[in-house]
Amino acid sequence: MQYQLFRGVDVREALKAVKAAFGPDAVIHSTREVTNGRGGALGASFIEVSAAPATEIQRWPFAEARPAAGESRRQSGRPRSRALGRTGGTTPTLGLDAREIERELSVLRSMLEDLNASRPPRQRAYSMLAAVGVEGALARELASGSARAARRGEQALKAWLRTRLCERLRTAEDVIVGAGPMLVAAVGQTGVGKTTTLAKLAARARLDHGRSVAVISLDTYRVGAVEQWQRYATLMGLPFYTARDETEFAQALAECRTDIVLVDTAGRSTLSDDQRWTVPACLSAANGRESHVLLVMPAWTRGSDAERAVTAYSEAGVTGLCVTKLDETLQAGGVLHAAIPADLPFHYLCDGPRVPEDIRSASVNAVVDALFESAP
């Protein structure tokens, strides 16, 4: 098949020229961006498409079949929407030959690869970060300096980005294994998994480390929240308290004689200015216990929402992050917008609802794996 070259200032213009020459059934072989290699006002570029006229065999798979000469569509006996490809033999129901489909898919893949290869190296790194959920200024910052790796191919670029992220991320120790009396609070929006995460930590502390645990719930607003904790406490044999304000919290905390006190809190909208939110005042009265305040965030959180959450909960004295619901998304990069700009360490990663199995201490490699291994 003889291919011809068509050019345009963009893909649309080049394809318009192809269609004018060969019609809508033209076969596209490849496409690429061509530049004169100059920058600034002297720079110039255009899109070059290699195409050829269609034949009866090499037809776009979804091009409408034309009836034989002298045969009208009504006489063909087939509905117009079903008149696709060839008929007879072992052709599938829609008239699509598997080899034709594979050939056209191969062409499309080649087009995408050519387009990606023609993009500036830093733009390729930016696109790879965007694919895992890292966006905006943070993506541009992380992509800076990627040109040399990008020229060596996609795998080299991915390896470079992994190293870059490993240098920027921090993790912290498993808080429930520390010595001395400790207070661990979970803050975050409603439905992010605070209660389930604390239940996992309670079970691990009791079963794996033999430490005594008590629970204080400040979430007296959500329907069923107290009842859920009462069931957990009964199953694990934990002292359980509820508190509606600073006074009740201080009283409950004074009664706790355990190694660890876990504090569950009510969700708070990041878009509201709730002056009655009492969590900061409650947590300030830790009675000499070492305090950890974990911002619990689902893995599917968008970057802009993660940044907003860090701001909304900053007055609670957030010391680290716990990422939940890793099994529910293919783009977990949004949580980096909470970790890197605010320099917050990752404490735990949760990838399911089971108590206590689906929680693990975070490591830098585990966080980076969660980003790239789940990406589409």
Q: What is the pLDDT of residues 295-350, one digit of tens each?
A: 999 999 999 999 999 998 988 889 999 999 998 888 899 999 999 999 999 999 99
Specify the pLDDT at position 91: 42
Task: Give the number of other CB atoms < 10 A from CB of residue 279.
Answer: 21
Which position has the higher pLDDT, 119 or 82?
A: 119
Specify the pLDDT at position 234: 85
Return the CA Rg of the chain: 29
Residue 65 binned pLDDT confidence (cut-offs 50, 70, 90)? very low
Residue 215 binned pLDDT confidence (cut-offs 50, 70, 90)? very high
Task: Give the number of other CB atoms < 10 A from CB of residue 231.
Answer: 13
Which position has the higher pLDDT, 190 or 224?
A: 190
Which position has the higher pLDDT, 220 or 301?
A: 301
Specify the pLDDT at position 200: 93
**pLDDT surpasses 90 at 364:** yes
Which position has the higher pLDDT, 26 or 252?
A: 252
Region 151-178: what's the mean pLDDT?
87
**pLDDT surpasses 60 at 96:** no
**pLDDT surpasses 60 at 242:** yes
Half-sphere exposure (Cβ direction) of 140: Cα atoms closer than 13 Å = 2
In percent, the amount of the chain with pLDDT more than 90 equals 26
Q: Cα 12–15–17 angle (5° rounding)?
A: 115
Task: Give the number of other CB atoms < 10 A from CB of residue 355.
Answer: 19
Specify the pLDDT at position 263: 93
Which position has the higher pLDDT, 231 or 88?
A: 231
CA distance 1 to 50: 12
Phi, psi of 226, deg, nearest 5: -65, -45
Specify the pLDDT at position 86: 40
Average pLDDT, the chain: 78
Specify the pLDDT at position 113: 55
Specify the pLDDT at position 84: 37
The answer to whether 220 and 266 are in contact (CB under 8 A) is yes
Instruction: Print the SS3 string covering the chain.
Output: CCCEEEEECCHHHHHHHHHHHHCCCCEEEEEEEEECCCCHHHCCEEEEEEEECCCCCCCCCCCECCCCCCCCHHHHCCCHHHCECCCCCCCCCCCCCHHHHHHHHHHHHHHHHHHHHCCCHHHHHHHHHHHCCCCHHHHHHHHCCCHHHHHCCHHHHHHHHHHHHHHHCCECCCHHHCCCCEEEEEECCCCCCHHHHHHHHHHHHHHCCCCCEEEEECCCCCCCHHHHHHHHHHHHCCCEEECCCHHHHHHHHHHCCCCEEEEECCCCCCCCCCCCCCHHHHHCCCCCCEEEEEEEEECCCCHHHHHHHHHHCHHHCCCEEEEECHHHCCCCHHHHHHHCCCCCCEEEECCCCCCCCCCEECCHHHHHHHHHCCCC
Name residues whose C-beta falls within 8 Å of residue 153's C-beta, 6 or more positions apart in sequence.
none
The answer to whether 48 and 31 are in contact (CB under 8 A) is yes
CA distance 267 to 192: 9
**pLDDT surpasses 70 at 271:** no
Task: Give the number of other CB atoms < 10 A from CB of residue 114.
Answer: 16
Residue 103 binned pLDDT confidence (cut-offs 50, 70, 90)? low
Residues across the chain? 376
**pLDDT surpasses 60 at 82:** no
**pLDDT surpasses 70 at 122:** no
Which of 155-159, 222-226, 314-318 is least confident? 222-226
CA distance 195 to 263: 9
Specify the pLDDT at position 210: 87
Region 180-185: what's the mean pLDDT?
88
